[in-house]
Amino acid sequence: MSKDSSETTEYVKQSGACAAVAAVSGSQHAEMEFPAPVENPMPATHYVATGTYKAPAPDASAVAPKKGGAGYLAVKRAFDVCFSVPVCIVLAIPVAVACIAISLDSPGAPIFRQERIGKGGKRIYIYKLRTMVSDAHEHPEKYMALSQY
């Protein structure tokens, strides 16, 4: 069989076996017989759920806010705040250590502020820990090779 850009393969299930019909250039047909699939003799039984899973039918009596409704948005906002505040508190110490390390390593503010365009064309500012020299954003030509222009 030649490798042509117009070569396609079609698989057809036949009684107990799979056959592949390859159409080359739309005119020649070659039929190949493949063995039937076999069951796995050693299926996973300890770490993988065996059998099939069928999701239960939705319970109309369950109280749940509609997605996009006022209740949903209130619960979502409460979760966002309740989750974000502890994460920010936990990460404050490593960020403070990184800021001290950046300040000791090079002059300039350890936090870098960059203006970007957000949703609907609104200007937003993102804040990042500075990983470059303090004036690299204003004067990139000082730090770039000629091949990077």
Domain co-membership, 116 together with 149: yes
Mean pLDDT of the chain: 74
* Model-wide pTM > 0.85: no
Least confident piece of the model among 24-28, 76-80, 103-107: 24-28
- pLDDT category at 99 given cuts 50, 70, 90 is very high
43-96, pLDDT tens digit by residue? 655 555 556 777 778 778 877 766 778 888 899 999 999 999 999 999 999 999
- Is residue 93 domain-resident? yes
Residue 27 lies in a domain: no
Q: Is the pLDDT of residue 97 over 90?
A: yes
Q: Identify the domain containing residue 94 by its residue range.
A: 71-105
If asked whether residues 123 and 147 sit together in one domain, one would say: yes
Strand partners of residue 20: 11, 32
| 55 φ/ψ angles, rounded to the nearest 5 degrees | -70, 140
Specify the number of domains making up the chain.
2
Question: Is 88 a member of any domain?
Answer: yes
Q: Where are the alpha helices (DSSP H) in the chain?
A: 70-105
Q: What are the C-alpha distances in Å from 121 to residues 15, 114, 124? A: 60, 15, 9
Average pLDDT of the segment spanning 21-27: 44
Instruction: Report which of residues 139 and 100 the model is more confident about.
Output: 100
